[in-house]
Amino acid sequence: MDALNLQPQDLNDNLIYNSVATWDSVGHMSLMATLETEFDIMLETDDIIDFSSYLKGDEILAKYEIKFDRAASGGQISKGKA
């Protein structure tokens, strides 16, 4: 994940805000901007604030019809019906 300078193996259920040095307040806004650009969405303010972990992010992005295939190598991501 380029926005936080993480490797695919770093994306797991234990990843939470401030658990890695790059996911601070600046990194958080960079991540949100990257997600909005990459998936052509506009996150609601409450969703940006609530996006506090990998699991919570998965839940929030499902509202925007973005789903993650955790079983796929590298965590395949697609936009469409979740």
Could you read off the pLDDT of 22-75 as tens digits, one per residue?
Answer: 999 999 999 999 999 999 999 999 999 999 999 999 999 999 999 877 665 455
pTM for this predicted structure: 0.83
Identify the pLDDT of residue 82. 45
Please give the Cα distance from 82 to 6 (Å, whole number): 24
Identify the pLDDT of residue 35. 95
Q: What would the CATH number be for the domain defined by 2-79?
A: 1.10.1200.10
Please give the Cα distance from 17 to 80 (Å, whole number): 26
Identify the pLDDT of residue 2. 87
Does residue 9 have a pLDDT over 90? Answer: no
Please give the Cα distance from 18 to 56 (Å, whole number): 14
Identify the pLDDT of residue 21. 96
Q: Which residue has the higher pLDDT, 82 or 26?
A: 26
